Structure 1
Amino acid sequence: MQELEELKITMNALVREDRFNEFFNLFDPTASLALQENNYNLLIDLYLKRSKIFFNIGDIQSCIADLKKITEWIDEHGTDGQRTTYLNMYATVCGELGNQKKNLEYLNKAKALAMKLDDFLTLCKIYNNLGVYYLVEGEPANAVSHLQKGLELSKKLDEENEEELMVLLKLNLSKAYTDLGEFEKAEELFDFLFSYIEGKQMMKTSIYVLQYKGLWFKAQKLYEEANEILGKAKDFASKNNDLILLEELNNILVEVITELNDKDRLIAIQKDYIDILLKIKEINLNQNLLQIELTQNEKQYESISTKDPLTSCYNRRYFEKNIKKWLMEAKISAQLVGFFILDVDYFKQINDRYGHLIGDDVLKSVASMTNDYLSAYESIFARYGGDEFVAMVKVPSKDELVEIIDNLYNHISNRIIEVDDEKISTSISLGVSTNVNGMVSEYKEIFKLADDALYESKRNGRNQYTVNS
C-alpha cells in the first residue's frame, strides 16, 4: 500500500512537470500494482491522464484505446468527478474525429454533471471545449461567451490548475477575437501565451499558439509575418507527426503564399501538401475504423451505465433516476403510477442447493419473463440488488394495476425453470403501492409503502402479492 501511494505521488508529479517519457515508463508497473490491490480509483486516474497525453501528442488511436479500457471501471468504480472527466475527454475525441454532434452532446452531459458537483476545474475544461466547438462551427461570439465563463471560473482554482487552464482558455479566446476582428484584444493574449510556451515541449498547445498568431497576421494581411510563424508551426507539427494539424497548416500556408504571389514557394508548399494528403489517405481507413470503434464504445458505455450486467434489465441507478422524474411529473398531471417490489422466494436455498451459477440463471429467467410481460405497458423494470427487482408502470386506475400484478404473478409464480437438466420450482412475492395520483411524490415514501406490502406477503407465507391501500 505504501509503495503504491508513493508511486501515485510520483506519477502526479511527472505529469505536472511534463516529464511524459518517465510517466510512460512507470505506467505499467504502477497500473499493475493498482490492479493487484483493487485500487480502481487510481487505475482510472492513470488511464485518464495517459489518454490526455496521447491526445495532446496526436496519438488518437492510443487515446481511444485507453478510454475504452476504463469504460467498465468508470461505471462500476468511478467517482462522479471521474465520469465527468471521462465524458469531457470522450467529447474532445469526437470533435477531433469531426463528429461535432456527438462532441456537443457529450460536452453538455459532462457540463450538467460538473455543475451538479460544483467541480470548477472540470467545468473550466468543458467551457474551453465548448469554446472550441463554437469556433469550429463559425460562431466566435458564442465561443467568447463560453471561454470568458471559463476564465472567470478559473479564478476559483489553485494556482497550478489555474495557469494550465488559463493558457488553453486564452489561446482559444485569441482565435475568437481574431475571427471577430478584435486584433488588439487578441494581441494582449498572445503576449501572455508566448511567454508561457517559451522553453516548453512543443506539444499541441504550443503549436496552436504559433498557428493562431499566424492566422492573426493573415487576418490583417501581414502575409510575410504569417508565412514565417506558420512555417515554424508546421515544422513542430511535422516533428510530432501530427497529420491533422499539418493538413490545417498547409491549407493556411497555401492561402498565404498565394497572396504573396511567390510561385516557387507555392510549388514547394503544394508538393508538401500532396505528400501529407497521401499519408492521410493511408490512415483514412484507420480513422474510419476508429470512428466505428468510438461509436461501439459509446453504445457499450451507455449500456453499461443503464443496464444490469447479469439480467440485462435496467439497473438501480437508472431506475431511481427515472422514478423520481416520473413522480414529479405525476404530481403535476395527477397520473397514477404503480410501483412494486418483486422478490424471488427462498432464493438463498436455491443458491445453496444448486450453486450460484444456476441461481444466476433463475434470476435471468425471472427477469426475462417480467420484462417481457411489462413491455406491453409504459413501464420501467430494474434489478434493485440480489434477488430483488423493482418496477413502475403508468396505469389509468388502481383496478387495472391490480389486474396487471395478478396476471404477472400468475405468469411467473410456480413456474418450473429448467437449467442444466435441473427442474427448479420458482415462486415470487410482491409488494405493491401507488403514488395515489400524485399525492405521493417522494421515492422513499412510495418505496416504503411497497416494502411494507412485500413484508406482509412474506409474513403470510410468501408466493403471493399484497397491495398497500
Structure 2
Amino acid sequence: MELTLEELNKTIMEMRTKGRLTEALNLAEQGLLVALENDNYKHGLDLFYQKILIHHALGDTLSMVSHIYDYEACCQQYGTTKDFMNYYLVMSLIYDLVGVREKTVEMTKKSIEYATQLKDIKMLVRCHSNLCYLEVENGCYKEALEAALIARKYNHMLAKSLPELAKLQDIRINNNLADVYILEGDFAMGQALLDHTLNSDIIENHNREKVAALFGYGFLYEHQQQLEEAVAYYKQAIALAQSYGDNQIAKKVMRMLLNVLYQLDYRDEIFDVQRAYIELTEKMSADNLLQQVMNLEFNRQKEKLEKRALYDPLTGVLNRHFLDVELHDWLKDARTYQQFVGVIVLDIDYFKAYNDRYGHLFGDMVLQLLATGIRDFIRNQEAVIVRYGGDEFIVCLRHHTKQFIYDFIKALHGYLLTLKLEQQNDSYPLKISLGACVNDLHNYEYLQLFKQADRNLYKAKNNGRANFVISSL
C-alpha cells in the first residue's frame, strides 16, 4: 500500500506538471481517503499538500482555505520537517491571495529555511521564484532580481532530474523576472521573457501561467504608453482567468485595466468594467476569505500562547507545568477506562561532559535529538513526554495490557540507544539510563509512581549506565 501511494503521489505531480489538474485532483482525493483509512500519514500529508496546490492552480481559493485547518492539524500531529516546509508554502500562497503581504513574505522565507535544511531543490526553485514576485510587489527590484537568479540556478539543477517540471518553473521565473525588467525600463528583455513563455510548447496546459504572461504583456505595453495594446492583453488575461474561475487574478487585472481605460477616457468601457469589478468584489466578499484567514491567524496565535505555557521551547515537549496542571486529568482518564499506567524517567549518561567538552549549543542539539527520538517512538501511543529539567525526561504511558507497557519500555530504551548525533563527519551515540514503574490498576498517584521510577533510574545507573530497570507498584 505504501508503494502504491508513493507511486500515486508521483503520478499526481506529473499530472500537475502537464496541466491535467481535474484528473490530478480526483486522484489526490481518492488517494487521501486510502491513506487516512490505513493511518499512512506520511503519504497522506503529501497527498493533502498536492490537493491544496491543485486548488490553487485552479484558482479555487475558497477550497484552499477550507482545507487548511485540517492540513495544519495533520502537520502538527504527524508532520516532519518536509511537511512543515510544504505547509508554510501553502500558507504563503493563501496570504498572498488575500493580500496580506507581510505574512506572505514571512511564510515564504520560513519555507525557504526548511528547504535549505532539506536541500529540496524543487521547493528552493518555487520559493525563490515566489520571493522574486513578492519583492517586485514591495518595490525592491534589486532583491527581486537576486531571488529570480537564485531560482534559475536551482532550476538548472532541477532540470537534470525533472526536466518537465523545470520547464514549467522556467515559465514562472520568466514571468516574475519580466516584471522586474519592465519596471526597470528594460522593455526588450521583459518582452523577450514573455515571448519565451507564450511560445513554450506547454503553456496551453497551464492557464494560471498563461494569464500571468498575458498580464505581463499588458503591463509592458502600459509602461510604454501603448495603451490600446495594453487594454487588449488585460482583457485576454481577465477572460482566461474567469474561464477557469480564478477570481483573485481577474480582480487584480481589472484594476489595472480600469487604470488604462481612465487614461484613454473610454467611458463606456469604464462603466462596464467597473460594474463587473463591483459584482466580482461582492461575490468575493460573500466568500469572506480574508476573515477566514484572519480567524486562522488568530487561532494560531492563541495556540502559540497556550503552547508556550505548557511546552518546553528548546525540545518542543511538555514542561513541568503539565505535571501540575494537566496530568491529574490524564491519570483520571486512565483510572476511568481501567488502563495500566507506566511512568518512565530517563536521562543522558554523562550529559555534563557534552556541555563541558563541546559547548552548550552542542548539548542543546543532543537534548533535541533525544526529545525527537522519544516523540517518534511513542507517536501512536497514549503517552505524553515531559522535560523535567536539564537532561531528564519523563514519559507517562497508559494501555489496557500491562505486558504491553513492559515490552514497550524495553523497546523504547533499545531504540534510544541507537540515536546518534551526526556533526561534521563525526558521530556521537547517546547513552541513556532509564527507570520505570508500572501500576497495578489501583495506584494512580503520580508522585508514588514517579518516586519509584526515579529510584529505578539510579539503580540502572549503578548497574553500569546505558541500562534500564522496571518494577511494579
TM-score (norm 2): 0.67
2:71 maps to what in 1? 70
1:133 maps to what in 2? 134
Does residue 29 (structure 1) correspond to residue 54 (structure 2)? The answer is no
1:213 maps to what in 2? 217
Distance 1:451 1:74 in 2: 39
* CA-CA distance at 1:13 after TM superposition: 3.9
1:105 maps to what in 2? 106
2:281 to 277, 280, 283: 277
Distance 1:329 1:105, change over 3 A: farther
Letter in 2 for 1:231: K
Letter in 2 for 1:14: M
* CA-CA distance at 1:132 after TM superposition: 1.7
* CA-CA distance at 1:59 after TM superposition: 1.8
Distance 1:113 1:329, change over 3 A: farther
Letter in 2 for 1:114: A
1:26-425 aligned at under 5 Å gives the runs 26-75=27-76, 77-158=78-159, 159-196=163-200, 200-201=204-205, 203-283=207-287, 285-297=288-300, 307-308=316-317, 331=359, 367=386, 422-423=444-445, 425=448
Distance 1:259 1:227 in 2: 11
Distance 1:254 1:71, change over 3 A: closer
1:449-464 aligned at under 5 Å gives the runs none
Distance 1:227 1:307, change over 3 A: same
Distance 1:76 1:271 in 2: 46
CA shift digits 1:15-47 (9 cap, x unpaired): 333222222333333222223333322212211
Letter in 1 for 2:187: F
TM-score (norm 1): 0.67
Query: Equivalent residue of 1:196, what SS?
Result: coil
Distance 1:309 1:173 in 2: 46
CA shift digits 1:93-151 (9 cap, x unpaired): 22322233322222222222222222222111111121122112111221111111111
* CA-CA distance at 1:73 after TM superposition: 3.9
1:438-457 aligned at under 5 Å gives the runs none
Distance 1:11 1:271, change over 3 A: closer
Distance 1:311 1:22 in 2: 50
Distance 1:460 1:384 in 2: 14
CA shift digits 1:305-333 (9 cap, x unpaired): 9644899869xxxx99xx99x95999499
CA shift digits 1:225-263 (9 cap, x unpaired): 000110111112222333322221121111111111222
CA shift digits 1:247-284 (9 cap, x unpaired): 2112111111111122222222222222223323323x
Distance 1:454 1:136, change over 3 A: farther
Does residue 429 (structure 1) correspond to residue 433 (structure 2)? The answer is no
* CA-CA distance at 1:198 after TM superposition: 6.8
Distance 1:239 1:155, change over 3 A: same
Distance 1:461 1:231 in 2: 75
Query: Equivalent residue of 1:70, what SS?
Result: helix
* CA-CA distance at 1:185 after TM superposition: 1.0
Distance 1:200 1:207 in 2: 10
Does residue 18 (structure 1) correspond to residue 10 (structure 2)? The answer is no
Distance 1:420 1:113 in 2: 47
* CA-CA distance at 1:295 after TM superposition: 4.5
Q: Indicate conservation of the 8 Å contact 2:29/2:51, yes or no.
A: no
Query: Equivalent residue of 1:18, what SS?
Result: coil
Q: Indicate conservation of the 8 Å contact 2:24/2:54, yes or no.
A: no
* CA-CA distance at 1:220 after TM superposition: 0.6
Distance 1:20 1:460 in 2: 54
Distance 2:320 2:125 in 1: 39
Distance 2:11 2:49 in 1: 16
Distance 1:115 1:272, change over 3 A: same
- 27-36 or 212-221, which deviates more: 27-36
CA shift digits 1:344-378 (9 cap, x unpaired): xxxxxxxxxxxx97xx6xx78xx5xx86xx7xxxx
Q: Indicate conservation of the 8 Å contact 2:121/2:157, yes or no.
A: yes
Q: Indicate conservation of the 8 Å contact 1:313/1:382, yes or no.
A: no
Distance 1:277 1:93 in 2: 18
Query: Equivalent residue of 2:158, what SS?
Result: coil
1:467 maps to what in 2? none
Distance 1:252 1:328 in 2: 63
Letter in 1 for 2:224: Q
Distance 1:429 1:382, change over 3 A: closer
1:2-13 aligned at under 5 Å gives the runs 4=5, 7-8=8-9, 10-13=11-14
Query: Equivalent residue of 2:454, what SS?
Result: strand
Instruction: Tell me how many residue pairs correspond in the alignment.
Output: 387
Distance 1:420 1:223 in 2: 84
Query: Equivalent residue of 1:38, what SS?
Result: coil
Query: Equivalent residue of 2:99, what SS?
Result: coil
CA shift digits 1:408-457 (9 cap, x unpaired): xxxxxxxxx9x99955633152899xxxxxxxxxxxxxxxxx99858679
CA shift digits 1:356-409 (9 cap, x unpaired): 97xx6xx78xx5xx86xx7xxxx79865796899xxxxxxxxxxxxxxxxxxxx
Distance 2:145 2:18 in 1: 30
Q: Indicate conservation of the 8 Å contact 2:247/2:280, yes or no.
A: yes
Q: Indicate conservation of the 8 Å contact 2:456/2:469, yes or no.
A: no
Q: Indicate conservation of the 8 Å contact 1:431/1:455, yes or no.
A: no
CA shift digits 1:72-101 (9 cap, x unpaired): 443555443343222222222223222333
Letter in 1 for 2:164: E
- 164-173 or 197-206, which deviates more: 197-206
* CA-CA distance at 1:71 after TM superposition: 3.0
